[in-house]
Amino acid sequence: MLKLKYPLILASGSPRRQQLLKDAGFEFSVKVIPTDEIFPSDMPPVEVPAYLALQKAMAFSQALTDEIILTADTIVVVDDEILNKPKDATEARLMLRKLSGRQHQVITGGCIMTKNETDAFTDITEVFFNELTEKEIEYYIEVCRPFDKAGAYGVQDFIGMVGIPRIEGSYFTVMGLPVHKVYEGLKKFMVKG
């Protein structure tokens, strides 16, 4: 395990983010303070994830002592439209049809906060989708139930395996945590030797 000078708290209930952080060698605990994912309506989509990650971190700011808080937020953007988590199967279907046969962006923002400093960052990955058939979309929604995923899909699920021929950028950013940026941000807190 990579040793940090302070306890690391991942402020995310996402099992994917938890697994990625564990696989990257970090010891951490999970604590989530619910926050409203509201942002200014005129904010450019590229700024939204880091803004939301910062809001999630700020929820901890009053009680911070010697911990490191790590937050993240992921959005899917196509034609300057943000596709959030679908409310139901109907909305998931519409999103997947919109992404079918097209290129889109997955933008993950993160924030590393201690009582003395705050570092917010963004990473963007271009994702290319094949044309999806109605049968593939229906199967995916029924089997994988992607209602907790921005854009109604997980790159590591069936639809990502069969429907995404290539990406430009970090696969882990699409999964919801740009591990390379998190590692860089946490490096200064690592115990030497």
The pLDDT tens digits of the residues spanning 90-118 come to: 999 999 999 999 999 999 999 999 999 99
- How much is the average pLDDT of 174-183? 97
Which CATH number is 8-187's, of 3.90.950.10, 3.30.930.10, 1.20.200.10, 2.40.40.20?
3.90.950.10
Token pair recorded at residue 178: 């740009």
- The predicted pLDDT at position 1 comes to 83
**Tokens at residue 3, please?**
């040793």
Helix 15-23 with 179-187: angle, nearest 10 deg: 60
Distance of alpha carbon 56 from alpha carbon 73, whole angstroms: 9
Domain boundaries, the chain: 8-187
- The pTM (predicted TM-score) of the whole model is 0.94
Tell me the pLDDT tens digit for each residue of 112-154: 999 999 999 999 999 999 999 999 999 999 999 999 999 999 9
In the chain, which ranges are E strands? 8-10, 29-30, 68-78, 81-83, 103-113, 118-128, 166-168
Question: For position 28, what pLDDT does the model report?
Answer: 97
**Looking at residue 50, what is its pLDDT?**
97
Distance (Å, whole) CA 84 – CA 41: 14
Q: Which two tokens stand for residue 135?
A: 């049968």
Catalytic option among 23, 42, 73, 119: 73
pLDDT category of residue 182 using cuts at 50, 70 and 90? very high
Q: What are phi and psi of 73, to 5 degrees?
A: -150, 140
**What is the rounded average pLDDT for all residues in the chain?**
96
The string of pLDDT tens digits covering residues 56-90 is 999 999 888 999 999 999 999 999 999 999 999 99
Q: Write down the pLDDT at residue 193.
A: 67
**From CA 153, how far away is CA 142, in angstroms rounded?**
12
42 catalytic, yes or no? no
